[in-house]
Amino acid sequence: MVCTVTTTPFTIGIIQDAATPDTAANIARADVLVRRAASQGAQIICLKELFQAPYFCKVPQADRFDLAEPIPGPTTDHMCALARELGVVLVVPLFERQAAGVYRNSAAVIDADGSLLGVYRKMHIPDDPLFHEKYYFVPGDAHPAAAGPDAAGGFRVWKTRFATIGVLICWDQWYPEAARITSLLGAQVLFYPTAIGWHPAEREEWGRAQVDAWRTAQRAHAIANGVYVAAPNRVGHEPEPGTDGITFFGHSFIADPFGRYVAEAGEDEAVLVARCDPGLIETVRRNWPFLRDRRIDAYGPILSRYLGT
């Protein structure tokens, strides 16, 4: 493993797909799509949030904890072998069983030699109708044990063979603080594996605005920090008895450090691949040098929940 920040261009890929209740089939499909991305030149490939299962958080139901598995475990074993075979870095988001009663919304980061580099554990946990994540997931720790020098406040980067990458998960994408800290750690790309969709009853009124807000918030992270952003989302309608289910809206994308789309998907299964140039990060950060002028002496109040009188 070559552990240096690279200045050589590298190629990333993200996988937008659906999931069924058949875990083995989900993994098999991901395997095919990862191979497709690799065949298109992708060197770092990221799957969607909780990739190998339906989005099970639609209702709180204790037997669904059975979907969790350890890291390392059967799914990461499969993906480590795949990474080694193809010589690619993989970001593998899945439901992690860390211990009895300690379940996480996590992403394993696997280097191109098949070694497990580490795990990011989702820091911001939502809880909304049909998204009962606070029931299922322990939030990532602000002070994870043994996180090492490439971590701060629970946020992390990994120096992979091809680039230094940060991983954040879904709801994290609404928090500029997460993007900022991960970028300051040296990330060249922020990956945002996601499972966002429409409540069918809301789609007519809010659907377009929700997709646009989702993309705008993340493109802004690219701009504010001068990094690439890559967000693979889930697609497909997933039913849930007693509810209207969720229609995951796709629209995965990759944005450059100036926030420009370099690859975009619609609402169908898709493999997006894009070349990333560390030279463009350097150019953008020189021409609009935001990092130079941060007022770190004045940001202390951001550590408050609310400041209003």
Q: Which residues sit at the interface with its own copies, rule CB under 8 A?
A: 5, 123-128, 139-140, 142, 149-150, 152-155, 157, 171, 174-181, 184-186, 209, 212-213, 216-217, 219-221, 223-224, 258-260, 287-291, 293-309
Q: Which is nearer to its own copies, 81 or 206 (CB)?
A: 206
Residue 268 has a CB neighbour count (10 Å cut-off) of 11
Q: Is 170 annotated as catalytic? A: yes
Closer Cβ to its own copies, 135 or 174, answer by number: 174
Q: Choose between 33 and 246: whose C-beta lies nearer to its own copies.
A: 246
Q: How many CB atoms lie within 10 A of CB 28?
A: 13
The residue (of 35 and 285) whose beta carbon lies closer to its own copies is: 285
Q: At what angle do helices 74-86 and 23-39 cross, to 10 degrees?
A: 20
Contact residues for 3 (Cβ-Cβ < 8 A; gap 6+): 159
**Residue 196 Cβ, how far from its own copies at the closest point, in Å?**
10
> How far apart, in Å, are the Cα atoms of 250 and each of 126, 197, 246?
19, 8, 12
**Least spacing, CB of residue 93 vs its own copies, in Å:** 19
Among 172, 166, 40, residue whose Cα is nearest residue 91: 166
Nearer to its own copies, 15 or 168 (CB): 168
Candidates 46, 57, 80, 170; catalytic one: 170
Give least dist CB 246 to its own copies, A: 15
Q: What is the DSSP string of 137-194?
A: -PPPPSS-TT--TTEETTEEEEE-SS-EEEE--GGGGG-HHHHHHHHHTT-SEEE---
For residues 58 and 130, is the Cβ–Cβ distance under 8 A? Answer: yes
Q: Helix, strand, coil proportions of the chain in percent (round to 5)? A: 35, 25, 40
- Catalytic one among 49, 96, 133, 238? 49
Q: In whole angstroms, how close is the CB of 1 to its own copies at the nearest point?
A: 15
Q: 4: phi > 0 → left, psi -120 to 50 → alpha, else beta; which? A: beta
Nearer to its own copies, 237 or 294 (CB): 294
Is residue 48 a contact partner of residue 15, using CB atoms and an 8 Å limit?
A: yes
d(CA 85, CA 77): 12
CB of 278 to its own copies, least distance (A): 13
Task: Indicate the Cα dihedral angle 20, 22, 27, 30, nearest 10°.
Answer: -20
Catalytic residue among 48, 57, 80, 122: 122
Nearer to its own copies, 69 or 244 (CB): 244
- Minimum distance between the CB of residue 297 and its own copies, rounded to whole angstroms? 5
Angle between helices 176-184 and 200-225 (to 10 degrees): 30
CB of 132 to its own copies, least distance (A): 14
Give the pair of three-digit tokens for residue 257. Answer: 């450090």
Active site residues: 49, 122, 170
